[in-house]
């Protein structure tokens, strides 16, 4: 989001708040990720990074969690996100273990 002006950031945040309000209980949460982190490749080696990924073309800047009946509904919700257009949104389901 560093490429946006203060006015653009304010407008994006206002649109985000409106989007969240419209989703109501379907919006479960979301958060921006810190830019610093670590890339772990094995138990004895740690690579500190200055971004979410080291040498990556795709960066995960944050996440949203929503409640949807299926993939199609989740896609439609994501299409209304004010972040789409500025950023790409990948829509994925969480895997829950099946309980007997």
**pLDDT score for 58:** 59
Q: Give the pLDDT confidence score for residue 61 in this predicted structure.
A: 80
- Is residue 36, in this structure, part of any structural domain at all? yes
CB 60 within 8 Å of CB 52: yes
User: Has residue 95 been placed in a domain?
Assistant: no
Domain membership of residue 46 (yes or no) is yes
Contacts of 83 (CB under 8 A, 6+ apart): 12, 16, 89
34 within a domain of the structure (yes/no): yes
Q: What total number of domains does the chain contain?
A: 1
Residue 24 lies in a domain: yes
CATH of the domain at 58: 3.30.70.1060
pLDDT of residue 50: 57
Low-confidence ranges of the chain (pLDDT < 50): 54
Would residue 19 count as lying in a domain? yes
pLDDT at 54: 47
Residue 84 placed within a domain = no
* 94 falls within a domain: no
């Amino acid at each position: 989001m560093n490429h946006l002006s203060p006015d653009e950031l304010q407008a994006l945040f206002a649109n985000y708040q409106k989007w969240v309000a419209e989703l109501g209980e379907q919006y479960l949460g979301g958060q921006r990720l810190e830019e610093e982190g670590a890339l772990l490749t094995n138990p004895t080696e740690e690579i500190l990074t200055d971004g979410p990924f080291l040498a990556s073309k795709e960066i995960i800047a944050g996440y949203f969690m929503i409640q949807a009946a299926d993939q199609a509904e989740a896609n439609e919700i994501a299409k209304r996100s004010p972040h789409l257009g500025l950023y790409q949104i990948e829509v994925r389901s969480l895997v829950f273990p099946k309980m007997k």
